[in-house]
């Protein structure tokens, strides 16, 4: 496609994203600058726009969100992990089992082939699940579609719940770091933390390394007073929009056509996982002194970057939410192959064979 036409499509996507983000922000939705671009990108992707966010751009946006989260959670996440470690692990295991149960049901009902249901229903690490699924012989296109339907549904449901349970005055200005004056040196330090943290984590092949590396490094430096993390609002806005576009543009007309027969099952599976996790979140409010929104975001089945943005914007217990989400990501990556094999064995025999 000619460059001028590509630039025109990007300009149109930018304008549509801005209008949707403005409307959602006026309605006091947390993470409006993530949600608006994602919804616009879904429309453009399904209509066949040949637009994609390069992976380095997506990783750069994740690194910015990692610094934002580091600024918000400081040292509290370590204390939360120590104080409620066993309960957090239980929360993680219940969420993972909910995804496994849905994958098992889809496999038994022959909605999806082989281990595709296991990888597609796995609650977290969408990009990692797609890569691992291909290594284990599943259809990566169908797994990717299931994963990003789930991510989009989680963002939508979490934003709606956050909007309903958050006072408008509390949510309206919570999407950015509180900055009155922006020292150039602090911005430079923050960008260095983002680059170094992401570089080390990606070199170590950590899951969601571009997000977790800056988050861990930044939290350590910020909590000990060795560095003050500051990001200009415009840079954060660009990071939010980039993540929204990255997710939304994954929904293409070709993907819809290839997965059309499985779409009802995928949607039912996605809603089922979210409802199971929401039910568990309600149970948590009876066990722990936390509010439902904190529990809902903590148990939401991914993705980590999107939930982090909503959590910071909604003024919940960010340390608890991030502790659960981060631990779940690692548990999912460890248990994914085992769960996929177990679900594959549950598949009924092919009656047409032989």
Task: Give the tens place of pLDDT for each residue, 5-31.
Answer: 899 999 999 999 999 999 988 887 877
Cβ contact 37:240 at 8 Å? yes
Please count the structural domains in the chain. Answer: 1
Asked whether residue 331 is domain-assigned, the answer is yes
Asked whether residue 178 is domain-assigned, the answer is yes
pLDDT in tens, 323-348: 888 888 778 777 777 777 777 776 66
Distances in whole angstroms, Cα of residue 172 to Cα of each of 152, 220, 229: 22, 28, 22
Who has greater pLDDT, 76 or 217? 217
The predicted model scores a pTM of 0.74
Who has greater pLDDT, 208 or 188? 188
Closest of 188, 197, 292, 174 to residue 231, by C-alpha: 188
Cβ contact 309:65 at 8 Å? yes
- Kindly tell me if the per-residue pLDDT of 3 is higher than 90: no
Q: Which domain holds residue 67?
A: 54-237+251-345
Query: Inter-axis angle of helices 304-314 and 209-223, to 10 degrees?
Result: 40
- Kindly tell me if the per-residue pLDDT of 92 is higher than 60: yes
Asked whether residue 18 is domain-assigned, the answer is no
DSSP string, 317-338: -HHHHHHHHHHHHHHHHHHHHH
Q: Which residues contact 71 (CB under 8 A, 6 or more apart)?
A: 177, 218, 222, 229, 230
Asked whether residue 23 is domain-assigned, the answer is no
Interval 47-71 mean pLDDT: 88
Asked whether residue 289 is domain-assigned, the answer is yes
Asked whether residue 350 is domain-assigned, the answer is no
Tokens of 300: 């939401």
Asked whether residue 16 is domain-assigned, the answer is no
Asked whether residue 33 is domain-assigned, the answer is no
What's the pLDDT at 19? 96
Total residues belonging to the chain: 354
């Amino acid at each position: 496609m000619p460059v001028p036409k590509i630039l025109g499509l990007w300009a149109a996507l930018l304008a549509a994203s801005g209008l949707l983000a403005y409307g959602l922000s006026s309605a006091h939705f947390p993470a409006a600058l993530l949600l608006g671009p994602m919804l616009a990108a879904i429309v453009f992707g399904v209509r066949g726009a040949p637009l994609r966010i390069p992976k380095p751009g997506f990783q750069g946006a994740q690194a910015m969100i990692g610094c934002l989260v580091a600024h918000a959670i400081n040292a509290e996440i370590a204390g939360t992990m120590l104080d409620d470690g066993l309960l957090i692990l239980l929360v993680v295991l219940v969420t993972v089992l909910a995804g496994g149960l849905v994958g098992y049901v889809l496999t038994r009902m022959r909605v999806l082939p082989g281990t595709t249901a296991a990888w597609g229903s796995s609650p977290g690490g969408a990009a990692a699940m797609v890569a691992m699924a291909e290594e284990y012989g599943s259809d990566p296109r169908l797994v990717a579609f299931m994963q990003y339907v789930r991510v989009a549904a989680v963002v939508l449901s979490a934003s709606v719940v956050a909007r309903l349970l958050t006072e408008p005055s509390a949510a309206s200005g919570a999407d950015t770091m509180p900055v009155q004056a922006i020292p150039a040196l602090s911005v430079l330090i923050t960008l260095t933390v983002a680059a170094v943290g992401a570089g080390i984590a990606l070199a170590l092949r950590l899951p969601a390394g571009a997000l977790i590396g800056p988050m861990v490094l930044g939290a350590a430096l910020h909590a000990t007073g060795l560095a003050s993390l500051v990001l200009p609002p415009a840079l954060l806005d660009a990071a939010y929009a980039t993540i929204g576009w990255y997710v939304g543009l994954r929904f293409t007309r070709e993907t819809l056509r290839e997965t059309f027969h499985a779409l009802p099952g995928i949607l039912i599976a996605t809603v089922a996982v979210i409802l199971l996790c929401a039910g568990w979140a309600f149970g948590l409010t009876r066990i722990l002194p936390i509010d439902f929104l904190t529990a809902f975001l903590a148990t939401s089945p991914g993705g980590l970057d999107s939930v982090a943005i909503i959590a910071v914007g909604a003024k919940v217990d960010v340390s608890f939410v991030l502790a659960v989400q981060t631990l779940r990501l690692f548990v999912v990556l460890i248990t994914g192959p085992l769960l996929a094999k177990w679900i594959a064995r549950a598949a009924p025999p092919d009656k047409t064979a032989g």
